[in-house]
Structure 1
């Protein structure tokens, strides 16, 4: 499975955070994988789980960074799709040394094109450019 596909799975899990309590997320992860026609195999499954856990463990810090660079916007006001994509991308920019800055930004924009609204790619690109 390619990195883009892996990111998409992580994004989908991060998106669920906005609709479920923290204590429900382990069950939500299991439900998500049960709903897939083709469940990722190890080591892809482990990569998805680990990266999801790493991002979710730093949500407060990531959201703080987002609030710092988004004038007039708070994470509470952002579209949930954009927020999930930004959280993943900010994690990759700040904490994942294996992902080059340009790749993290480009992949976030690609996720926006697929899942976000019309303005999402430009918004996400602008926010990430301030952090890069």
Structure 2
């Protein structure tokens, strides 16, 4: 499975975290991965560890978003955009294997695919500001 596909599965699970209590969400992750038949066990573990790491860093990630999002707070953001931003910021800040530019480009592509027409510019603007600050 390509890294883009792994990222897309990770995004979907980070998005789902908004709608479940933590323990129930962890169960949902396992159910989701159980039905992701195209992924090997190694790829499922990659997705699992990535989404758990994003959620573990959620408060710090959200604080960074709130600092850089002009007139927007995470509590008011579209949940799709927020999940995309959380995953991308995790990749920029903590994943040394993924270059910042790739994390930003992939996040913009997710926004094009899953969110509104305005989302790619919004996501790009916040992530560009975040990358400059790093």
Residues 40-61 of structure 1, C-alpha deviations (whole Å, 9 max, x = no match)? 1121111000111111110000
**Structural mapping, 1:1-132, within 5 Å:** 1-36=1-36, 38-132=37-131
The TM-score with structure 2 as length reference comes to 0.94
Q: Which runs of 5+ in 1 are unaligned?
A: none
Once the two structures are TM-superposed, the CA of residue 35 in structure 1 deviates from its matched residue by: 4.2
Give the distance between the partners of 1:115 and 1:87, measured in 2 at CA: 15
Moved over 3 A (4+): none
Residues 62-107 of structure 1, C-alpha deviations (whole Å, 9 max, x = no match)? 0000000002100011100000000000001111111101000000
Q: Which runs of 5+ in 2 are unaligned?
A: none
Residues 5-46 of structure 1, C-alpha deviations (whole Å, 9 max, x = no match)? 00000000000111111121111112222444x341121111
CA RMSD in angstroms, aligned pairs only: 1.0
Query: Of Structure 1 and Structure 2, which has the larger fraction of its residues in helix?
Result: 2
The TM-score with structure 1 as length reference comes to 0.95
